[in-house]
Structure 1
Amino acid sequence: MEGFLSTVENVNNAINSFVWGLPMLILLVGTGILMTCLTRFFQISHIKHWLSNTIGGIFKDSHVTAHTEKEDTQISQFQSLCTALAATIGTGNIAGVAVAIASGGPGAIFWMWIVAFFGMMTNFSENVLGIFYRRRNEKNEWCGGAMYYLSDGLGSKKGCRQIGSALAVLFSIFCIFASFGIGNMGQINSIAVNMNTVFGIPTIITGLFLMVVAGLVIVGGLKRIASVTEKLVPFMAVLYVFFALVVCVVHIDQFGAVFTSIIKGAFGMRAVGGGIVGSGVAMAVQFGMKRGVFSNEAGLGSSVMVHSSSNVREPVVQGMWGIFEVFADTIIVCSITAFAVLSSGLVDLETGAVISEQVSTALVAEAFSSVFGKFGSAFIAVAILLFAFSTVLGWSQYGSKAFEYLFGRKTIKFYHVIFVAFIVVGATMDLTLAWDLSDTFNGMMAIPNLIGVVTLSGTVMKITHNYVQRKILGQDVKPMLSAIDDIQQLHERELKTKEETAEETA
């Protein structure tokens, strides 16, 4: 067994070096920059609009109907966000941040912010394309994702039919493998290790327990997953942020030094751990970007598969939920985690070297323990359990959609059985290998998706401009709602009826 794992590790390292090389980072960030420019910095220029129509809309009476009413085969916009956040807010926000700091120094956090800022528009574009090219399956459920805008969007361009179909298949294959890596084994391993360290529970016991619970939820399909995540995600996110903020407030006198260390580390004014300055910058950039993507998944094309199941008609509306998803995940949760760790005296802010002997989630647990004592470690263990388990639920849906695209809807149960069985494998395997495999699958999955986003960037620009003309500038133009004529006409009639009803009510 050790020989097999060693071979897997060697092969994975070779692939990982290629997948996460300079060209990939340029493609990843470059796509976000391109979409930011084409949409005229939508995440800044229309920040009030997208905030009021996402998280702000939940508290408005005018949005209650859109939020709660849905057909049996659909989920609400808020449920789609919670399911997507369930998959993105996971160990990447705790262990991922700690690993980024330990490997790339405090400067890695700056590059996580950069990836998140441009990643907002990458995620926005993915969701816009997902809604625009989605279709119904035989059970009248919405099916959307990178595989559909690659096959139907890119594939509709002259001479691109075969390459679009090939990239769609590759994306689906990589997505299935990624669902076992980032979405299963990496998350479950973090849970099992923490439960063993803090409470002494054997990893195999944790794995078997989670396998049973996950099986009960996953077998129920998207609606059951969405029902669980819309209750679990807000609760765990608010609770974690509250306790992390308490740690930050207690150490608020260190904030100036922390922020200075992040900026100086990002641009090589201080080397990581006292090493070579140039090497320090490279490590900060690499680990900041990799862990940023691992955390918010912008560019992977993953969350679009559940966003596409929303009851929304406007592609840009779901795109705005994508912006908020990245904002909440990285700008808020990851940043608070980073400041909690860096302000707790566990890292030398002058050199960037980690003083503590702890690694990964244990580093965050030690930061919380500096304020809450033993309760801090116990709380992080429970937080990891909730964060990571919800991620497993979200990614089971992603893998299901990819499996459905390749093999048809009737084969999904087979995927569910294999996925649930691998939970036990994840609980007992080496943590380092689980994370390394997750990094590799993330990169392989992102490549075809980013190719699709870039080649269809003009479509995203037109849809966004169309929305701005109608909803923000109040111009009377025909809406761009779907690439499929029947769905376009249906949505037009629904929007017209909705507008007439609103006028009568007013």
Structure 2
Amino acid sequence: MQLFQFVYNFLWGDLVKIPLPGGSSLGLSLLVILLIPAGIYCMVITGFLPIRLFPEMIRVSMEKNVDKDKKGGVSGLEALIVSTATRVGMGNLVGVVAAVSAGGAGAIFWMWLAAIIGSATAFVEATLAQIYKEEDPLYGGYRGGPAYYIHHMLAGKKKKSVVAVLFALSALLCWCGISQVVGNSVSSALDNAFHVPPLATAVVLCIPGAFIVLRKNVTVKVLNIIVPIMAGFYIFLTLFAIINNISELPGVFSRIFTEAFGLRQALAGGFGAVLMNGVKRGLFSNEAGSGSAPCAAASADVDHPVKSGLLQALGVFIDTIIICSCTAFVILLVPENITSGLNGMDLLQEAMRYHFGNAGVVFIAVTLWLFCFSTFLGILFYARSNVAYVFGDNWTSQTIYKAIALVNLFIGCLAAYTFVWDLGDVGIGLMTVFNMIALIPMSKHAVRALRDYEEKKSLEVAEQPQRAAG
């Protein structure tokens, strides 16, 4: 336990403290020290891709170029939906609430900035996952992710890379922990809103979960239905609340930008909390750099690796800039005297009650259920390639891991075991460290692919007038 706590503090604790005016300090964890410079580096080497190629991201998301004759094939859009299922989860509700609770309105600005920087990282890791993907002999289609491009860099023709195995095991550890968090979050939300007994929630959650994940290629089909509906419904209702209070919106933006730069907070010694809560929660929400989303990106059947990278960069935008912002605005549009002293889910529930009455509390419970359930399905899709890398291509290891995840989901519904939750945090922290070992050195391959893609696009544009004339 002491060793575990040491690793946890090393990854998530304040590794470096920078003194600030007003008596506050800026604590930097190892993950922030790794992810922010990596994101800035990826922004520069891709020519500020998230801003420059945003229209191209939208265009690529409209394509459906999966080879329907290839059994188990996943389109680029479907891969985006799978990764969005895990991003658009608890981070969009619990993460945003935690950022606002601890860092105030200004934390939202730093979440936005973390998302823009993170989208460049997401592009690089997803493009690398596409470049080094393999055909999947079990499920059909393709598989890959950091374990596979780490292997290519460090192991070459050898059977296994130690770092790649450590990444895969860290990922599997993390996702088992998240399974318990998912179960407990759903159970608590339904108990508070509808007084549903935890055991009933466990049964109702695990039976359809088992039916979906234990079948060969059902997960993507289910997520294709759940994710657009839940995200669309959530955005619609939160936009309704925002439009209903449109006159207050300029004041909210004023709070966000004023508090972001800590004019008031610096005097009170709290600027470090504002900045770091926004950055940390932004990184937690969009997952860029952790190496999870590339496991979905690698499965995409696209005609150029860069297309998958563009889609995953767009996924970060959808997650943080759109959905997280909707959550933040719903909270910040509530008069401060109503939410004063509240934090966590109590803050969000009170905000929803203000906008929608008691129905708002029910809405949040149902939303959390959908977000969490889709997260569970998404992480088990991610797990496929990592289980295969460590244990080989066999159904036994695939089924055992799914069964362990389902057991963790069931247990999480009944009680909160914080040790397992911390295991999830340690797992994603270690994933990030191992992913970064390969991401920066191999980023040149993603940049080379980007240049090739843009050159081909330029040629297509140049040839269009000739085709029209012909």
What TM-score do you get using the length of structure 1 for normalisation? 0.82
| 1: CA distance, partners of 2:213 / 2:89 | 18
Corresponding residue for 2:187? 192
| 1: CA distance, partners of 2:166 / 2:14 | 17
Per-residue deviation at 1:428? 2.9
1:355 lines up with 2:340 in the alignment = yes
Counting only pairs closer than 5 Å after superposition, residues 28-427 of structure 1 correspond to structure 2 as 28-54=35-61, 57=62, 63-64=63-64, 66=65, 69=68, 71-139=70-138, 140-156=140-156, 165-182=161-178, 184-221=179-216, 223-271=217-265, 276-277=268-269, 280-346=270-336, 355-357=340-342, 359-410=343-394, 411-427=397-413
| 1: CA distance, partners of 2:123 / 2:297 | 11
Per-residue deviation at 1:271? 2.3
| Residues 362 and 72 of structure 1, relative CA distance in 2, 3 Å threshold | farther
Specify the code of the residue in structure 1 equivalent to 2:203.
Answer: L
8 A contact 2:109–2:260 mirrored in 1: yes
Deviations 1:423-468 (A, max 9, x none): 0222233386665544332222111112211111111111111111
Task: Name structure 1 gaps, 5 residues minimum.
Answer: 58-62, 349-353, 477-502
Per-residue deviation at 1:208? 2.6
Counting only pairs closer than 5 Å after superposition, residues 467-486 of structure 1 correspond to structure 2 as 467-474=453-460
| Residues 88 and 107 of structure 1, relative CA distance in 2, 3 Å threshold | same
Deviations 1:158-208 (A, max 9, x none): xxx99x9222111111101111223x1222221111001111112232123
Per-residue deviation at 1:151? 0.9
Counting only pairs closer than 5 Å after superposition, residues 486-497 of structure 1 correspond to structure 2 as none
Per-residue deviation at 1:256? 2.2
SS in 1 for 2:50: helix
| Residues 102 and 150 of structure 1, relative CA distance in 2, 3 Å threshold | same
Corresponding residue for 2:20? none
Corresponding residue for 2:436? 450
RMSD after superposition: 2.8
Q: Which sits farther off after the overlay, 427-436 or 77-86? A: 427-436
Deviations 1:73-106 (A, max 9, x none): 2122222111111111111111110011112222
Q: Which sits farther off after the overlay, 338-347 or 66-75? A: 66-75
8 A contact 1:154–1:456 mirrored in 2: no
Q: Which sits farther off after the overlay, 78-87 or 16-25? A: 16-25
| 2: CA distance, partners of 1:373 / 1:302 | 37
Task: Name structure 2 gaps, 5 residues minimum.
Answer: 16-26
SS in 1 for 2:290: coil
Per-residue deviation at 1:409? 2.6
For these two proteins, the number of residue pairs brought into alignment is 450
| 2: CA distance, partners of 1:356 / 1:431 | 27
In the alignment, which of 450, 456, 460 is matched to residue 464 of structure 1? 450
Deviations 1:117-176 (A, max 9, x none): 0111111111100010011243454121001111103545xxxx99x9222111111101
| 2: CA distance, partners of 1:451 / 1:91 | 28
8 A contact 2:180–2:408 mirrored in 1: yes
8 A contact 2:141–2:301 mirrored in 1: no
Corresponding residue for 2:22? none
Deviations 1:220-239 (A, max 9, x none): 13x21000000110000010
SS in 2 for 1:217: helix
Specify the code of the residue in structure 2 equivalent to 1:213.
Answer: P
8 A contact 1:251–1:344 mirrored in 2: no
8 A contact 1:400–1:415 mirrored in 2: no
What TM-score do you get using the length of structure 2 for normalisation? 0.88
SS in 1 for 2:263: coil
SS in 2 for 1:85: helix
SS in 2 for 1:380: helix
| 2: CA distance, partners of 1:9 / 1:150 | 27
